[in-house]
Amino acid sequence: MGHVPPGRAMESGVPPFGPSASWEVLRRRAELLTELRSFFADRGFLEVETPLLCRDSVVDLHIDPFAVEVSQPPGETWWLQTSPEFCMKRMLAAGATAIYQVTRAFRQGEIGRWHNPEFTMVEWYRCGDDMRAGMALLAELAQAMLGADSVLQIEYAELFRQGTGIDPLDATDKALREAARCHGLDAAGESTRDDCLDFLFATRVVPSLPREVPAVVYYYPASQAALSRLDPRDDRRAERFELFFRGVELANGYHELTDAAEWRRRARAANRRRASRGKREIPVDSALLRAMESGLPAGSGTALGFDRLVMAALRRRSLSEVMAFPWERA
Amino acid sequence: MAVYKTSEFRKGLKVQIDGEPYLMIEMNFVKPGKGNALYKCKLRNLLRNTVIDRTYKGGDSLEAADVEEIEVQFLYRQGDTFVFMDSKTFEQYELTADQVGDNWKYLKDGMICSMVLFNGNPITMTPPNHVVLKVEYCEPGAKGDTATNVTKPVKVETGAEFPAPIFINMGDLIKIDTRTGEYVERVKS
């Protein structure tokens, strides 16, 4: 009497109390985390911890942080971090040379098979690395963690051409819009150049990658530089790279932008676009900006979704199979 | 008109596209780490039952469709018009033969069905999953043959024909699955 199976909800509104992932998967997950920590320890990285709740946050048009009303200082809004980027870069400006962190990141509204609003992120930085060195480290990690023999490295523009027949750096906005529409992006809403690139990349380009080979895609279009620096030899593209495996984006890395003025310009532009879409603006002035003004050493940094890595490594189809308590059970 | 923002998209949502009602039967959220979210949807047209694939991006929206499901009783057929009555309000609704489609085969007077209204007008009806119909005509059954895998056509009270086992006789009641049009069993009267 009274026994409730762990997978069954007792009444509507109350989630089942048991984990959604099996114990076998949770055990493998813990082993992968141990392997990951030794991967970084073996390479001389220092494990660090930074706060999840901060007075500032990354300003990005498409990343929405959770705002938290704090009682000290009274009346202020702080932010659950969407990545540990700010605090880790402050550490670099204060003398760190190679650091990594396993932490939680929070992103409002991102719920789906491959998304959970709270997730585990692994982020690392190494001073002196350029884009190639950052990519090489990521490829090494992919090989070690995913048990892959080799890692494909391919330029964004080349891959985009293969998947769509379109040159993403030179095509006109009109040509991109037409291609997006003809591949099923609803034409009713207004689409920016990046909306079209993202749509075509997600629906035509990523599926064209070999499924069982990890792929590092690099030199993203300049409009998608985020916080990476532009290629000094070709400013149509940015020194940004991503890791894909089994159709899923696992990691994003930069040859880091260190120019404070450029950083401020990009944050302000992102805030303007946020405001025009009815989104809350995020403070631009931050301790990171101060750190950059004092001198952020050149280097490369990468963020990796650990839950997705586990999902890919264990050949599971959804995050809920590899997380104990995903959003529906949190 | 009410609208649904992409953040409200979910399976089961009833929306309007180009003036026609659709049911969202699948919704997949995909978002690049740095980039706008994509909502990949499968939508079933509630008028024509066709399925379309559409992808929306974060910030898009769809008009809500005023779609309501009610319980009705089938009253009678007059030529190409089928007349139903709302079980609660007793209001009468008419559907054309086209709108009823193959469901005419199952419609007996007084049968309780479900009906979908779009902007207050009936667009489709669905009979119960199983209906019991009386066999009006068939070739005589072979005595002792209880095999169910050999069938013959039998004509039922609605005028429709269904394949049924050899042992079925005129006057028998048979249960039909309306989702497949298949014979299920003989029912004792």
Domain extents in chain B = 3-64, 67-126, 130-187
pLDDT above 80 (res B162): yes
Q: CA B172 to CA B132: how far, in whole Å?
A: 10
Q: What pLDDT is recorded for position B145?
A: 65
ipTM for the predicted complex comes to 0.81
Q: A115 contacts in B (CB within 8 Å)?
A: 29, 31
Q: What pLDDT is recorded for position A184?
A: 85
Alpha-helical runs (H) found in chain B: 97-100
Cβ of A199 within 8 Å of Cβ of B55? The answer is: yes
Picking from A160, A186, A197, A327 by the largest number of B CB atoms within 10 A of its own CB, the best residue to mutate is A186
User: Is-contact A260 A289, C-beta < 8 A?
Assistant: yes
Preceding amide of A73 cis, omega within 30: yes
Q: Between β-strands B173-177 and A248-255, what pairing exists: parallel, antiparallel or unpaired?
A: unpaired
Q: What pLDDT is recorded for position B151?
A: 87
Find all residues with CB under 8 Å of A237, minimum gap 6, and list them. Answer: A156, A157, A169, A219, A220, A221, A222, A230, A231
The residue-averaged pLDDT of B102-106 equals: 94
Q: Say which CATH topology domain B3-64 has.
A: SH3 type barrels. (2.30.30)
Q: Which tokens belong to A55?
A: 């007075």
Q: Say which CATH topology domain B130-187 has.
A: OB fold (Dihydrolipoamide Acetyltransferase, E2P) (2.40.50)
Q: Between β-strands B121-126 and A299-305, what pairing exists: parallel, antiparallel or unpaired?
A: unpaired
Find all residues with CB under 8 Å of B67, minimum gap 6, and list them. Answer: B14, B21, B23, B46, B116, B117, B118
pLDDT above 50 (res A141): yes
Q: Tell me how close the Cα of A266 comes to any Cα of chain B, in angstroms.
A: 14
Mean pLDDT of chain A: 94
Q: CA A185 to CA A195: how far, in whole Å?
A: 10
Percent over 70 (pLDDT), chain A = 96
Between A and B, how many CB-CB pairs are < 8 A? 71
- Between A6 and B114, the higher pLDDT residue: B114
Q: A112 contacts in B (CB within 8 Å)?
A: 28-31
pLDDT tens, residue by residue, A43-93: 999 999 999 999 999 999 999 999 999 999 999 999 999 999 999 999 999
Q: How confident is the model at residue A238 (pLDDT cuts 50, 70, 90)?
A: very high
Q: What is the 3-state secondary structure (H, E, C) of B124-152?
A: EEECCCEEEEEEEECCCCCCCCCCCCCEE
The residue-averaged pLDDT of A235-239 equals: 97
The residue-averaged pLDDT of A150-173 equals: 96
Q: How confident is the model at residue B33 (pLDDT cuts 50, 70, 90)?
A: confident
Domain ranges in chain A? Answer: 15-151+213-329
User: Is-contact A256 A228, C-beta < 8 A?
Assistant: yes
pLDDT above 90 (res A10): no
Q: Which tokens belong to A106?
A: 């929070």
> DSSP strand E in B6-97: where?
14-17, 20-30, 38-45, 51-57, 61-64, 67-78, 81-86, 92-96
Q: What pLDDT is recorded for position A42?
A: 98
Q: Is the overall model pTM greater than 0.90, yes or no?
A: no
Q: What is the CB neighbour count within 10 angstroms for residue A18?
A: 14
Q: Tell me how close the Cα of A244 comes to any Cα of chain B, in angstroms.
A: 11
Q: Distances from the Cα of B94 to the Cαs of A237, A280, B21, B73, in angstroms?
A: 62, 50, 19, 12
User: Is-contact A160 A179, C-beta < 8 A?
Assistant: no
Q: How confident is the model at residue A217 (pLDDT cuts 50, 70, 90)?
A: very high
DSSP 8-state secondary structure symbol assigned to residue A44: T
Percent over 70 (pLDDT), chain B = 96
3-state helix, strand, coil in chain B (%, to 5): 5, 55, 40
Q: How confident is the model at residue B43 (pLDDT cuts 50, 70, 90)?
A: very high
Q: How confident is the model at residue A2 (pLDDT cuts 50, 70, 90)?
A: very low
The residue-averaged pLDDT of A152-158 equals: 98
Could you tell me if residue B16 is left (phi over 0), alpha (psi between -120 and 50 degrees) or otherwise beta?
beta
The answer to whether the B3-64 and B130-187 domains have the same CATH topology is no
Output phi, psi for B174, to 5 deg: -125, 145
pLDDT tens, residue by residue, A196-208: 999 999 999 999 9
- The residue type found at A44 is G
Q: What is the distance, to the nearest Å, from the Cα of residue B34 to the centroid of all Cα atoms in its chain?
A: 43
Q: Decide if A203 touches B, using CB distance below 8 A.
A: yes
Residue B32 has its nearest CB partner, among A189, A249, A305, at A249
Q: What pLDDT is recorded for position A9?
A: 55
> For domain B67-126, which CATH number applies: 3.40.50.10800, 3.30.930.10, 2.40.50.140, 3.40.50.300?
2.40.50.140
Picking from B8, B28, B30 by the largest number of A CB atoms within 10 A of its own CB, the best residue to mutate is B30
Q: What pLDDT is recorded for position A1?
A: 42
User: Is-contact A52 A106, C-beta < 8 A?
Assistant: yes
The residue-averaged pLDDT of A211-238 equals: 96
pLDDT tens, residue by residue, A299-320: 999 999 999 999 999 999 999 9
Mean pLDDT of chain B: 92
- Between A19 and B48, the higher pLDDT residue: A19
Nearest CA in chain B to A195: B36
Q: Decide if A158 touches B, using CB distance below 8 A.
A: no
Picking from A61, A62, A242 by the largest number of B CB atoms within 10 A of its own CB, the best residue to mutate is A62
Domain A15-151+213-329 has CATH 3.30.420.40: no
Residue A198 has its nearest CB partner, among B7, B36, B56, at B36
pLDDT above 60 (res A5): no
Task: Give the three-class secondary structure for B169.
Answer: coil
pLDDT tens, residue by residue, A108-134: 999 999 999 999 999 999 999 999 999
Q: CA A121 to CA A58: how far, in whole Å?
A: 15
